[in-house]
Amino acid sequence: MRPGRFLLTCAVLLCVAIAWNALVHLVVLQAANASVQHLRRADLADKAWLSLVLTAGIVVMFVGGYGRVARSGSVREGIGYGLFFAVLAGLLVDLNQYVLFPIPGAVAIQWFAGGVIEFSLYGAIASRLCPPNEDAGSTRGSRMSGTQGRWPVRAVRST
């Protein structure tokens, strides 16, 4: 993936992430999030910068991962990668928070569902902004040169 495409995709997805999370948490899930308000930090506004840095980090990991695994660059493939990422993030974040903190299960499920939609959207966008086949004929690295995108297979000698 070209550096310019990587940065463009990261910038677009960061904007989408900020808008998506504002919509979901401040509007759609406002009532559900109110049920866990008492668990939030009193100085949450002072930590907003850290939330933005974490969001940017997740976006960079998402785009970098997509660039490594994408083969066809189709929207379907992007959504599939987004679903994989959403399940991973959901297990690490939503389920873990449900286990650690006294939050209602319905809230964790709503957060998880929002994440599934969010990361599927990221995948669809990434598939359009950074197609893996933009360098026609490229095999993504010297280890794969001459193998049309497949890992070389070594012959095993029998003794």
Q: How far apart are CA 94 and CA 29, in angstroms?
A: 14
Task: Give per-residue pLDDT as tens, 89-119.
Answer: 999 988 888 888 888 888 889 889 999 999 9
Residues 6+ away with beta carbon under 8 Å from 8: 129, 130
The 8 Å CB, 24+ separation contacts for 88-97 are: 89/58, 89/115, 89/119, 90/115, 90/116
Task: Give per-residue pLDDT as tens, 10-20.
Answer: 999 999 999 99
The domain locations on the chain are 3-130
Residue 4: which of 67, 78, 70 has the closest Cα?
Answer: 67
